[in-house]
Amino acid sequence: MNPQHRSWFPWLLGLATLAAVVVVSLHLTEERELVALAEQAEPRWLMLALVLQALTYLAQSGVWRTVLRRAGTSLPWPDAYRLSLAKLFVDQALPTVGVSGTLVVVEALQQRAVARRAVMSVIAVDILSFYLTYAAGLVLALLVLARLHEVTWPLLIAAALLLVFASTVIASVWRLPGRTGGMSAGQTAAPTGIRRAAAMIRDADPATVHDRALLIRAIALHATIIMLDAATLWTLLRAVGYPTGFAAVFASFMVASLLRSVGFMPGGLGTFEAGAVTALRLAGVPVAAGLAATLLFRGLSFWLPMLPGLIFSRSLTHHPRPAQQTAK
């Protein structure tokens, strides 16, 4: 398979998986019921869901701006917001465990004359706080699921594998900044993207990465992103006329995010939808309502940002504006 075909294969597989999820879901319910739910969706709830999704990019922007302020540099909110959309697009278009989107952030910041040490500190703190938050959220979701209904062994195994991976990333990012010397045999054998990310994190400022107050603020912002995403899904269930408890929706969202993380399809295309519909069904949400809300959520969080993300990914790296230096 040539490189061009390999780049399209995950998309084709993801679309096929998504189609299978829709077909199976429609088999379990009435097609006209899904159409009726879409027709009766309340616009006010849809608008609220759109606002909640817009706020997720603001929170991601806040992570970068918080670290840059610590490094004595400022990044305007509009630029940071556009950069968060650009990163999302690149991560989804080129699924490489977030490495491709990270490189866009690095390039955009460096073209704004931000010092390399500050840029790599942004990357290190962002990765560290993301995985700490995600691991804690996944454990919380498993506890919620255990109270609502039985947690299956496949789910526990998948969660355990992801937690092991997250723990490895957290330990590595905490240890790597400021370290010198050659790579170990294990690091040399790692994929190119992982080796490149490790090399970048080595150039981060240890004092910034190990600043616990800074890390707590970054974790709070990443937790805000997760809660805004879960609130979006909860709002869309309200929009289609099936309100349910927020705890159940949060747990369902985390299960879907888990399946999105373990797959290699862009943005977890197909696997996220399957996980969300299944988890919502176990929480008592009818299949038709769960499918409708999930497809609406993916429309707002995956498909809608693609065009502006593409535009911003080109403009931010080709027409940069210099960052402003601030007093520490």
Cβ atoms of 183 and 195 closer than 8 Å: yes
Q: What kind and span of H or E run contains 277?
A: helix 271-282
Q: Where are the domains of the chain?
A: 48-322
Q: State the Cα–Cα distance between residues 193 and 97, nearest whole angstrom.
A: 9
Say which range, 4-13, 192-201, 312-321, has the weakest mean pLDDT: 4-13
Q: Which residues pair with 324 in a beta bridge?
A: 74
The listed range with the strongest mean pLDDT (20-29, 194-203, 261-270, 293-302) is 293-302
For the segment 160-182, the average pLDDT, to the nearest whole number, is 89
pLDDT digits (tens, 9 = 90+) for 235-273: 999 998 888 999 999 999 999 998 887 666 777 888 898
Nearest to 136 by CA among 216, 196, 76: 216
pTM above 0.95, yes or no: no
* pLDDT at site 189: 44
pLDDT digits (tens, 9 = 90+) for 39-51: 677 889 999 999 9
* pLDDT at site 241: 86
Nearest to 229 by CA among 127, 308, 134, 90: 134
Q: What kind and span of H or E run contains 73?
A: strand 73-74
Using the predicted structure, report yes or no on whether residue 227 has a pLDDT greater than 90.
Answer: yes
Q: State the Cα–Cα distance between residues 275 and 85, nearest whole angstrom.
A: 24
Residue 221's pLDDT band, with cuts at 50, 70 and 90, is very high
For the segment 270-284, the average pLDDT, to the nearest whole number, is 88
